[in-house]
Copies of this chain bind each other. A is one copy, B any other.
Amino acid sequence: MKFSLRQAQSVVKKLSFRDGLVTAVARDFRSKDVLMVAHMNEEAVIRTLTTGLMHYWSRSRGRLWLKGEVSRHYQHVRDVWVDCNGDALVFDVEQVGAACHKGYYSCFYRKVERGELVQVLKRKFKPEEVY
């Protein structure tokens, strides 16, 4: 799913950026599993909507990144949802490869059980072979 630049700019105008950012949830479009939670600045939203590929703003690295730019594990946008406050978006995506840089399909591969974080997903790839 791609939008024109004018359409993307029109969406951005309806969002409420806080410290320049909105929260982005990427979800598998089939299973609805949450793949990752990250942030987007205006440019990341525009690039995501106009290219159909998820782009994020990395707070730790202080730069825009195309998800998959190194791993080629791109996220193709299928649908975009906006919350009541306009400061969070849910993206239904088609995930190539796996979302997590640690090799799991989803970054949420651990569940809380009796106060411990228990790994419930198996690795899909070895990070050292991809990055």
Provide the A82-93 mask, 1 if CB < 8 A to any CB of B, else 0. Answer: 111100101000
The answer to whether B83 and A6 have CB atoms under 8 Å apart is no
Provide the A44-59 mask, 1 if CB < 8 A to any CB of B, else 0. Answer: 0000010000000001
Question: What is the oligomeric copy number?
Answer: 2
Chain A 101-127 interface residues, beta-carbon cutoff 8 Å to B: 101-102, 104, 107-112, 114-117
Residues of chain A at interface, number, CB under 8 A: 43
The residues of A with any CB-CB pair to B shorter than 8 Å are 3-4, 6-8, 10-11, 14, 18, 23, 25, 27, 31-34, 36-37, 49, 59, 79-85, 88, 90, 100-102, 104, 107-112, 114-117
